[in-house]
């Protein structure tokens, strides 16, 4: 085979056409000869639909890229150059439970932060580590690009418990760049943001427009009510005095930590009888509509409805990252990787989300230095929760799991953490064999 082999684990995802679109648009610089879409038997029907759609997209683009589908991930991985993980263990049904269960205790329910993110991580980490073992055996030189949520936590597990070359990717930073460009009336190519923090806990420390620092101007616009959010997060407005004191641009996900009570009220209202449902329940409707579109044999390009799914700019982020590695571009990308001294006050091995110089050797974090004390305190607490969660997921140790959940800033007490953990283990019993017999 001449050209690259790219394997997508979770290939039946509604996100896949985003990735296919990106690969086709960058075909001149990224010669993908084979795209393998792998999924599990429960996802066989969706995989077939997405695979057929991807082939139509490739034909319309006149691309030489062959698209294969398989229920055997080892077949997909054999000889792959790049592996993309975009799986959701338990599907949207598990996400619905993740979002609803914490509300019973007056705690936020969300798929990547708080108890919902914890449950998601417990299910996902063992699966990712199994994939890593297959990569080590079948394509040891491949790069793993992890998009599976919670992306930073899952990447932490892969880097601590495997020797696979792995970078975690999230579309929040690129969304923030695109939104900043819109608010400033600028071309996104002229916007640069210095990102630092953790996945879904990242700040824009400085925003530059053609090299000129415009951080204060963007913060003023946010203080005046300009929107910087995403489809899955309510557009609650930022307090101007808080933003001035912070001096950095918060990510949309910071609302969960800075506006906890208000977001909890929003979630409770949405989940109540007569409400629109949790975000996962809303996504179920979006997915149903998307797959109706994907089944249309006349459809051969990414539909605009896909933007409602929440993965905007995923393809741009993922494909440009793969291109930077393959072509040794030495470009700046925001990824999840080992800290290696970039953020002062954090362990060198801890996975952080920062700007990195990316080439064929991977990602080299750019120095950040000190974060403001308030930000560093929150980062340290969330990182402690993440490290405990990784070890609990790997070991099946219930005591570690309780320590992890109790350490999460969105869980108000150890007593509530204990009750939540019992419910999480019971609700996810089929996905957590390491915790068998524990409830």
d(CA 352, CA 334): 10
At 227, phi and psi to the nearest 5? -90, 130
Give pTM, 2 decimals. 0.95
Q: Does a structural domain hold residue 327?
A: no
Instruction: List the CATH number of the domain containing 147.
Output: 3.40.50.720
Domain span holding position 57: 4-167
Which residues contact residue 359 at a Cβ distance below 8 angstroms, ignoring those fewer than 6 apart? 324, 325, 328, 329, 330, 331
Measured CA to CA, the distance from residue 82 to residue 169 in angstroms comes to 14
Report the C-alpha gap between 410 and 113 in whole angstroms.
8
Positions marked active-site: 253
| pLDDT score for 311 | 62
Dihedral of alpha carbons 230, 234, 235, 237, sign: negative
Strand partners, 182: none
| Residue 233, domain member (yes or no) | no
State residue 88's pLDDT score. 95
Are residues 167 and 335 in contact, defined by beta-carbon separation less than 8 angstroms? Answer: yes
pLDDT digits (tens, 9 = 90+) for 171-194: 999 999 999 999 999 999 999 999
Is 329 exposed, middle or buried (CB count within 10 Å of its CB: 0-12, 13-18, 19+)? middle
- How many whole angstroms separate alpha carbon 115 and alpha carbon 106? 11
Contact between 311 and 320 under an 8 Å Cβ cutoff? The reply is no
- Residue 70 counted as domain residue: yes
Whether cis (ω within 30° of 0) applies to the bond prior to 150 is: yes
Residues of the chain below pLDDT 70: 1, 225-232, 310-312, 437-439
Q: What angle do CA 85, 89, 95 make, to 5 degrees?
A: 115
Would residue 87 count as lying in a domain? yes
Q: Which of 319, 339, 325 is nearest to 379 (CA)?
A: 339
In a domain, 204, yes or no: no
Residue 60 CA to residue 24 CA, distance in Å, equals 10
Evaluate whether residue 192 is within a structural domain: no
CA dihedral (184, 190, 191, 194) positive or negative: negative
**Is residue 173 included in any domain, yes or no?**
no
When computed from its CA atoms, the radius of gyration of the chain, rounded to whole angstroms, is: 21
Which residues 6+ apart lie within 8 Å of 324 measured at CB?
A: 330, 331, 333, 358, 359
Enter the DSSP assignment of 272: S
What's the CA gap between 382 and 117, in Å, rounded? 12
Domain count for the chain: 1
Tokens for 212, please give them.
């000129």
Counting every residue, how long is the chain?
439
Residue 397 vs residues 112, 114, 229, 439: alpha-carbon distances, Å = 21, 19, 37, 12
Nearest to 55 by CA among 67, 43, 64, 69: 67
Is 131 domain-assigned? Answer: yes
């Amino acid at each position: 085979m001449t050209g690259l082999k790219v394997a997508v684990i979770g290939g039946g995802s509604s996100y896949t056409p985003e990735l296919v679109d990106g690969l086709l648009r960058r075909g001149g610089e990224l010669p993908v000869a084979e795209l393998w879409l792998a999924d599990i038997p429960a996802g066989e029907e969706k995989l077939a639909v997405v695979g057929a759609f991807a082939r139509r997209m490739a034909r319309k683009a006149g691309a030489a890229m062959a698209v294969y589908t398989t229920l055997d991930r080892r077949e997909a991985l054999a000889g792959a150059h790049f592996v993309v993980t975009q799986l959701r263990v338990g599907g949207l049904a598990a996400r619905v439970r993740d979002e609803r269960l914490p509300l019973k205790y007056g705690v936020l329910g969300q798929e990547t932060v708080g108890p919902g993110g914890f449950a998601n991580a417990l299910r996902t980490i063992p699966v990712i580590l199994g994939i890593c073992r297959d990569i080590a055996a079948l394509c040891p030189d491949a790069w793993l690009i992890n998009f599976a949520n919670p992306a930073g936590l899952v990447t932490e597990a892969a880097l601590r418990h495997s020797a696979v070359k792995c970078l975690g990717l999230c579309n929040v930073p690129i969304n923030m760049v695109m939104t900043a460009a819109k608010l400033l009336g600028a071309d996104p190519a002229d916007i640069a943001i210095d990102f630092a923090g953790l996945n879904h806990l990242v700040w824009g420390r400085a925003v530059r427009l053609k090299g000129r620092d415009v951080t204060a101007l963007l913060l003023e616009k946010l203080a005046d009510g300009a929107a910087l959010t995403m489809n899955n997060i309510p557009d609650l407005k930022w307090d101007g005095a808080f933003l001035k004191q912070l001096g950095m641009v918060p990510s949309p996900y910071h609302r969960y930590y800075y506006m906890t009570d208000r977001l909890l009220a929003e979630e409770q209202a949405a989940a109540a009888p007569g409400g629109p449902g949790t975000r996962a329940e809303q996504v179920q409707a979006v997915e149903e509509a998307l797959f109706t579109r994907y089944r249309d044999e006349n459809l051969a390009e990414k539909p605009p409805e896909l933007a409602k799914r929440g993965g905007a700019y995923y393809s741009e982020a993922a494909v440009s990252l793969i291109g930077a590695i393959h072509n040794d571009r030495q470009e700046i990308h925001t990824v999840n990787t080992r800290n290696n001294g970039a953020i002062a006050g954090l362990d060198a091995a801890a996975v952080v989300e920062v700007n990195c110089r990316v080439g064929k050797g991977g990602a080299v974090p750019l120095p950040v230095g000190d974060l403001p004390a308030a930000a560093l305190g929150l980062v340290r607490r969330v990182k402690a929760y993440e490290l405990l969660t990784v070890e609990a997921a790997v070991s099946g140790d219930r005591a570690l799991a309780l320590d992890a959940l109790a350490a999460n800033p969105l869980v108000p007490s150890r007593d509530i953490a204990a009750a939540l953990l019992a419910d999480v283990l019971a609700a996810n019993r089929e996905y957590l064999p390491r915790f068998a017999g524990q409830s």
